[in-house]
Amino acid sequence: MVRTEPVRASAVPKAQESATFHIRRIAPGDETGIDVTTQLHMDLLGFGPMAQFGPGVIRETIYDTAINEKLLEVAIAEVDGRPAGFIAYTIDPHRFHASLIGSHRLKVIGSMAKALLSRPARLRHIPRALKVVLSRDDLGEDATPVGTEVVCFGVYPEYLTAEFIRKTKIRVGVKLLQHAASYFRQHGFDTTRMIVDADNTRALLFYQSLGGEMTPCTFGGVPSYIVLMNLGDLF
Ligand SMILES: CC(C)(COP(=O)(O)OP(=O)(O)OC[C@H]1O[C@@H](n2cnc3c(N)ncnc32)[C@H](O)[C@@H]1OP(=O)(O)O)[C@@H](O)C(=O)NCCC(=O)NCCS
Domain residue ranges of the chain, discontinuous segments joined by +: 21-194
Phi, psi of 178 (to 5 degrees): -65, -40
Cβ-Cβ contacts under 8 Å for 5 (sequence gap 6 or more): 157
Of residues 154, 224, 147, the one with CA closest to residue 193: 147
In the CATH hierarchy, which fold is given to the domain comprising 21-194? Aminopeptidase (3.40.630)
Distance 156 CA to ligand 1 centre (A): 10
Q: Is 196's C-beta closer than 6 angstroms to any atom of ligand 1? A: yes
Distance 85 CA to ligand 1 centre (A): 12
Q: What is the pLDDT of residues 158-168, one digit of tens each?
A: 999 999 999 99
Q: What is the pLDDT of residues 113-123, one digit of tens each?
A: 999 999 999 99
Distance 10 CA to ligand 1 centre (A): 21
Q: What is the pLDDT of residues 177-201, one digit of tens each?
A: 999 999 999 999 999 999 999 999 9
- pLDDT of residue 149 exceeding 80, the answer is yes
Q: Which amino acid is at 76?
A: I
Instruction: Give how far Cα 159 sits from Cα of 6, 16, 81, 166, 170, Å.
Output: 12, 11, 13, 11, 8
| Strand boundaries in 143-198, DSSP class E | 149-155, 191-197
- pLDDT of residue 93 exceeding 80, the answer is yes
| Closest ligand 1 atom number to CA of residue 150 | 48
The pLDDT of residue 9 is: 44
Q: What is the pLDDT of residues 24-63, one digit of tens each?
A: 999 999 999 999 999 999 999 999 888 999 999 999 989 9
Q: How many residues does the chain have?
A: 235
